[in-house]
Amino acid sequence: MHPNEALLTGFYTAFQEGNFTAMQHAYHEGATFHDPVFEHLKAEQVKAMWQMLLTSAKDLSISFSGIHANDTTGRCHWEARYTFSRTGRKVHNVIEAGFVFRESKIFEHRDSFDFWRWSRQALGPSGLLLGWSPLVRNKVRAMAKANLRNFMHQEGRG
């Protein structure tokens, strides 16, 4: 197994176990993260995001497969099942992750998923009708950004 495949396996195993500290250690000090909700996060924000998500999760279940990596890049398929706290609705999110490595750490992490599919599950009828629209996407992004900023402030990180 390539060392970066082992890094990703450890990262997702820690995710399954709710061990945000181990996940945080997998990131390079200059790391970035992007997904359809959390855009353009820098290392401290990425680390705080995982801590926030894992400490607030009630019934999160993670599975992963298809880890492939070499010296510079990697990828993984992962799925999350959980109850979206704002609505109490069950979500099954299917994610494709891409990575760039530097100094044996995750330097760039980009998760891709179908936002409309997610919004239909998480938001219900409003997600079905408007989840495809920039209006809903931007509202969800703004709420997530505010939640992360508040979490970081409470944790003394910003």
Q: Where are the domains of the chain?
A: 3-154
Would you give per-residue pLDDT tens digits along the chain (158 residues)? 999 999 999 999 999 999 999 999 999 999 999 999 999 999 999 999 999 999 988 899 999 999 999 999 999 999 999 998 878 889 999 999 999 999 999 999 999 999 989 999 998 867 666 666 676 778 888 888 999 999 999 877 66
Dump the DSSP string for 74-132.
Answer: EEEEEEEEEEETTTTEEEEEEEEEEEEEETTEEEEEEEE--HHHHHHHHHTHHHHHHTT
Give the CATH architecture of domain 3-154: Roll (3.10)
> How high is the pLDDT of residue 133?
64
User: Could you read off the pLDDT of 24-66 as tens digits, one per residue?
Assistant: 999 999 999 999 999 999 999 999 999 999 998 889 999 999 9
Which residue type is seen at 43?
A
